[in-house]
């Protein structure tokens, strides 16, 4: 394995297991717009990609302006659901300890998330992320990134480390494929055991249930 000089974290589903809240928010939004819930196939489509991509997939004729409005509406629903459930709203087990270890070893790290700016501000405030990460270093869905690969490249530039020398932590299959596309030194997937096979097929080098399971020796 190549020497690890930087770490990039996805956020949703990786540092924060918030999939149920996102799914509930998408379901509420789609029911508002068309009066019917998400199909099982559509539930798969709303995991991973940026909101505008998801909305254009769900509603092919949607205008750019309306897509942005619905994206903001969906995320407002999502944030409200998180705020209403403080027991649910916490970082994944072992995340803070790993942040501390990276700081101790002086390995730069940041977040590359498909979340919009309002959510990133919410995460920074809720989880006090600025204890470990300079907020300006966080990459998010600002409307200018073509896909998650572009976000990884941006995050790597912020770290001043080539993606080929970075660990990328992801959860979604699409995110893992994009991490593979930028030739990450190591792709570590978070999630339940039943997802592990699919994650490895998508390109993950290893899978873990939480950050306590991550082998710190890989940082050496």
Q: Which helix (H) or strand (E) holds 154?
A: helix 148-159
The pLDDT assigned to 48 comes to 66
The backbone region for 160, taken as left when phi is positive above 0, alpha when psi lies in -120 to 50, beta otherwise, is left
The CA-atom distances, in angstroms, between 112 and each of 24, 34, 61, 79, 88 are 23, 31, 29, 19, 22
CATH superfamily of domain region 6-18+89-219: HAD superfamily/HAD-like (3.40.50.1000)
Tracing tokens 């020796």 back to the chain, one arrives at 217
Domains 6-18+89-219 and 19-83 share a fold: no
Written as six digits, the tokens of 5 are 């000089």
The pLDDT assigned to 12 comes to 92
Going from N- to C-terminal start, the domains of the chain cover 6-18+89-219, 19-83
Q: Which helix (H) or strand (E) holds 207?
A: strand 206-208
Consecutive sets of 10 residues in the chain, 220 residues long: mean pLDDT of each? 90 94 94 91 81 90 94 95 96 98 96 92 97 97 87 97 97 94 97 92 97 93
The pLDDT assigned to 52 comes to 84
The arrangement of secondary structure in 19-83, i.e. its CATH architecture, is Orthogonal Bundle (1.10)
The pLDDT assigned to 116 comes to 86
The pLDDT assigned to 1 comes to 60
């Amino acid at each position: 394995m190549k020497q690890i000089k930087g770490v990039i974290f996805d956020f949703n589903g990786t540092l924060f297991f918030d999939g149920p809240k996102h799914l509930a928010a998408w379901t509420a939004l789609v029911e508002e717009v068309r009066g019917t819930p998400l199909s099982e196939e559509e539930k798969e489509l709303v995991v991973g990609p940026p909101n505008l991509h998801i909305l254009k997939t769900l509603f092919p004729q949607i205008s750019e302006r309306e897509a942005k409005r619905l994206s903001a509406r969906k995320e407002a629903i999502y944030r409200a659901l998180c705020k209403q459930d403080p027991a649910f709203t916490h970082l994944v087990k072992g995340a803070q300890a790993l942040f501390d270890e990276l700081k101790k070893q002086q390995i730069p790290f940041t977040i590359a998330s498909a979340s919009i700016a309002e959510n990133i501000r919410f995460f920074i405030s809720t989880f006090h992320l600025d204890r470990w990460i300079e907020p300006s270093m966080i990459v998010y869905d600002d409307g200018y990134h073509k896909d998650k690969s572009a976000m990884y490249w941006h995050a790597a530039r912020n770290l001043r480390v080539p993606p080929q020398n970075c660990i990328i932590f992801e959860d979604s299959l699409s995110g893992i494929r994009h991490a593979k596309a930028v030739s990450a030194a190591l792709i570590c997937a978070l999630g339940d055991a039943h997802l592990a096979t699919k994650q490895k097929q998508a390109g993950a080098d290893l899978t873990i249930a939480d950050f306590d399971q991550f082998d710190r020796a890989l940082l050496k």
